[in-house]
Structure 1
Amino acid sequence: MTLWIILIAIPMLFGFYAQMKIRSAYNKNVQIPSRGRISGREAAAAVMESAGIHDVEIVRVEGQLTDHYDPINRKLALSEHNYDGTSLAALGVAAHEAGHAIQHKVGYSMMKVRQTLAPATQIAAGASQFLIIAGIVLISSKLGGTFLMIGAGALALICLFQFVTLPVEFDATRRAKAQLVSLGIVGQDEMEGVHETLDAAALTYVAGFVASLGSLLHILLLLSGRRDD
C-alpha cells in the first residue's frame, strides 16, 4: 500500500496540482494586458521573423491552452484568446510556440528525437492502459504476465518520450522569454506574468513524466512479485 501511495497517488496529486497551477497562472495573467498591445499572433510572427522563419502559417484553433506547433505541416496554432489577445499570458504562450518553430529551423537535437519517437508513442499510449488493466486482472496467469510485460514496455516508451519532451519545452520557454524582451514586445518589468505562466506550463510536463515513471515502476514491481511467487 505504501508503494502504491508513493508511486501512484502522490504523482497523481502532483499532476492535479500542476494542472491547477497552470490554469490559475493563465487565468490570472490573461487578464493583464501588455503595454505594447501586441497580439499573440503578432508576437509569434515577430519572434519567427527575427529568426528568419517565413514559411510557418499561424492559425487560430478552438479551446483554451490548445496551442501547439506542427513541424510536419509547418503551422503554429494558437488558441483563440492567445491568437487575438494582448495579455502577458497570450504573448508568453505565443512566443513559446514560436520557440518550437525556431528549434525546428535550427535542427535542435532533442526536438528531432521527440519527433522520431512520436508515432510509436501514440500507439503505445493507446495500447498501454488496456494491456496493464488486462495484465492486472489476469495477473495470476501466464497471459497476465505477458500483458504486463508488454504494457511495461509501452509505458517505458511513453516515459522516454516525456523525458525527452522536458528539455524541448524548457528550451522553447528560454527562447520565448529572451525574444520577448530583446524584441521589445514585453518590458522587463512585465516579465513576471510571462514567467509565472510559462513556468507553470513547464510544471505540467514534469508532472506528466513523474506520473508515467511512477506507473512504470509500479508495474515492474508487480512483475517482480510474480517472479518471486
Structure 2
Amino acid sequence: MTDSDGTPHQGSAAPDGEPVYADRVYRSVPGVISGVLLLAVAGWLTVDAVLSGSGRTPWVALATIVVFAFPVIAYTLRPVVRADDRRLLVRNPLRTVSAPWAAVEGMRAGYSVELFAGGKKYQVWAVPVSLRQRKRANRQASRSAAAGDPHASRLGSLVRPNVPVLPGAPDPTRAWSDQVVAVLLGMAERNAARPDATGEVTVRWCWWIIAPTLVGLVALVAVIAA
C-alpha cells in the first residue's frame, strides 16, 4: 500500500527485472472521519430513542437508522481507488468499476475527478477536488516561480494533469486530486501494454447497500402510516 500522496513502496524485482510496487490506495480521509462521526451520532440518538421512547418511536428510530446509516457508509466510508500493475479499481458509493489499464482512455480532474474507460465516463468519488486547495497550490507555485525555484515549472501540470508526478513527498504546488490523477495516468501509460492488463471494463452494483436502504425505507413508511 502507498500513502495518500501516491508515494510507492518499492518491492523486490519481478522475474523480468522490473521493480514491483505495492498497490496504490486512495481515499478521502475527511470523508471517512465525517462518516464515522455521523454514524456515531446517529447510533447514539437511535439507542436513546429505543430506550426512552414510547409508542411507535422506537420502531421509527430503528427504521430511520437503517435508511440513514447505509447511505452514509456508501458515500463516506466505501469510496476508494486501488491501482496495481493490471488494473484500476474505482469503488464508488453504489457501484464498483474495474478497468484494465489497456481499457483506460484517460482521467480528468476538473470540478470532480472523472475516469474515461471502455467508451464511458465514470465519476471517482474517492478523490474529491478541492478548489480551495487548488487555488492555494497555484499561489504556492506562483511564489516558487517568483523566487526562482527551478521546480516551479511544474506549475504547468496544474492545467495538464497528465504530467507524471515524481515519487516522493507531496508537491505543495499541486492539489492532491491533480497529483493522484497524474500518478494514475502515468501507471496507465506504463502498464497498458502488459499482457495481463487487457480486458473489458466491468461494473458491479453494490446491492448490500441498495437493498437494505430500500427495505428500511419501506419499513419506515409502513411504521409511520400504521
What is the TM-score when the length of structure 1 is the normalising length?
0.37
State the structure with more CA Rg.
2
Q: Which has the higher contact order (CA 8 A, sep 6+)?
A: 1
Q: Which one has a larger percent strand, Structure 1 or Structure 2?
A: 2
Q: Which one has a larger percent helix, Structure 1 or Structure 2?
A: 1
